């Protein structure tokens, strides 16, 4: 294992201290309105989207949705009703060109107790700044190397960037554990017998504005997986263009050179720091 300098480790630690940023002050809060004690901010709307949405809602009102000058309000309803209203809202934004990369796949929004309040097209989550969930797996070897995937150039988000050996959004009907094992097969061809050895490590809360888009708010569930020296990843779903096996020192250098997706950079930095103690 190549030795990492003190300055490199300090840079990675500083980066990890800034995983969760506040929404910019000009972003419009999106509030889920329950009773007087349960109202909470669940998202943020890019100011570039506000006038379009105001005009659209005035012409075509949506049940449970209202918009004022200082917030977008979502009245609490049964999960099915709430999901239907939010899908209408997403369709409205999609028609205006504000939701690129529509996937026809649902994410779920969960409260702090793990209760599912609604489900919605996954690509709409960033447009509204809703909190989503994803799994990231560090694939490593006993020789202290990391396997990294390079995202396909056709991906709607971060094309060509380096990523963990497998990573992906947790769909509305999945747990993190199920999602991690599915992604390991789809993205890296890791058989079930190997994938079942994943080790749960922790969670990183990632929050950041996306220029011209929305607000990325995601819980990253992290797993480690030791791979045999002879194992070579093989993508199955066309979302990864290739893989590289590199030392921790090279991975750190590539993180600091901004070659990773933001999410994978945090997850990989966390792995490097844990292994460097």
Over residues 112-155, the pLDDT tens digits come to 899 999 999 999 999 999 999 999 999 999 999 999 999 998 88
Q: What share of the chain is helix, strand, coil (3-state, %, to 5)?
A: 30, 30, 40
Q: For residues 202 and 223, what is the distance between their CA atoms, to the nearest angstrom?
A: 7
Q: What is the pTM of this model?
A: 0.94
Q: Is the pLDDT of residue 158 over 80?
A: yes
Per-residue pLDDT band at 3 (split at 50, 70, 90): confident
Return the structure tokens found at 152: 């396909």
Structurally, what CATH architecture does the domain formed by 28-125 represent? Answer: 2-Layer Sandwich (3.30)
Enclosing H/E stretch for 164: strand 162-164
The confidence score (pLDDT) of residue 36 equals 59
φ/ψ of residue 73, rounded to 5:
-105, 135
Distance of CA 104 to the CA centre of its chain: 17
Closest residue by Cα to residue 275 from 136, 140, 135, 149: 140
- Residues 13-31 have a mean pLDDT of 96
The confidence score (pLDDT) of residue 90 equals 98
Q: For residues 247 and 266, what is the distance between their CA atoms, to the nearest angstrom?
A: 17
Q: For residues 232 and 227, what is the distance between their CA atoms, to the nearest angstrom?
A: 9
φ/ψ of residue 204, rounded to 5:
-120, 135
Q: What are the pLDDT digits (tens) for 67-118?
A: 999 999 999 999 999 999 999 999 999 999 999 889 999 999 999 899 999 9
Q: Could you tell me the fold of the domain covering 6-21+132-275?
A: Nucleoside Triphosphate Pyrophosphohydrolase (3.90.79)
φ/ψ of residue 149, rounded to 5:
-100, 150
3-state secondary structure of 109: strand
- Residues 38-61 have a mean pLDDT of 95
3-state secondary structure of 247: strand
- Domain layout of the chain by residue ranges: 6-21+132-275, 28-125
């Amino acid at each position: 294992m190549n030795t990492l300098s003190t300055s490199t480790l300090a840079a990675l630690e500083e980066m990890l201290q800034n995983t969760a940023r506040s929404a910019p002050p000009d972003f419009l809060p999106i509030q889920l309105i329950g009773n007087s004690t349960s109202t909470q901010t669940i998202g943020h709307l890019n100011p570039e989207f506000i006038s379009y949405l105001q005009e659209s809602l005035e012409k075509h009102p949506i049940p449970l949705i209202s918009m004022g000058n200082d917030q977008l309000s979502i009245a609490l309803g049964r999960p099915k009703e709430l999901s239907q209203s939010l899908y209408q809202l997403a369709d409205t934004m999609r028609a205006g060109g504000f939701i690129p990369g529509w996937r026809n796949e649902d994410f779920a929004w969960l409260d702090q107790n793990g209760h599912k309040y609604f489900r919605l097209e996954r690509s709409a989550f960033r447009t509204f700044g809703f909190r989503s969930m994803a799994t990231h797996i560090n694939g490593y070897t006993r020789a202290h190397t990391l396997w990294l995937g390079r995202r396909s150039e056709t991906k709607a988000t971060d094309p060509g960037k380096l990523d963990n050996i497998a990573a992906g959004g947790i769909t509305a009907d999945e747990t993190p554990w199920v999602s991690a094992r599915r992604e390991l097969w789809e993205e890296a061809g890791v058989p079930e017998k190997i994938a079942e050895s994943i080790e749960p490590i922790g969670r990183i809360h990632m929050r950041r504005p996306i220029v011209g888009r929305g607000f990325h708010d995601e819980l990253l569930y992290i797993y480690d997986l030791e791979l045999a020296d002879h194992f070579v990843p093989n993508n199955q779903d066309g979302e990864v263009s290739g893989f590289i096996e590199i030392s921790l020192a090279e991975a750190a250098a590539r993180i600091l050179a901004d070659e990773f997706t933001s999410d994978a950079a945090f997850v990989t930095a966390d792995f490097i720091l844990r292994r460097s103690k």
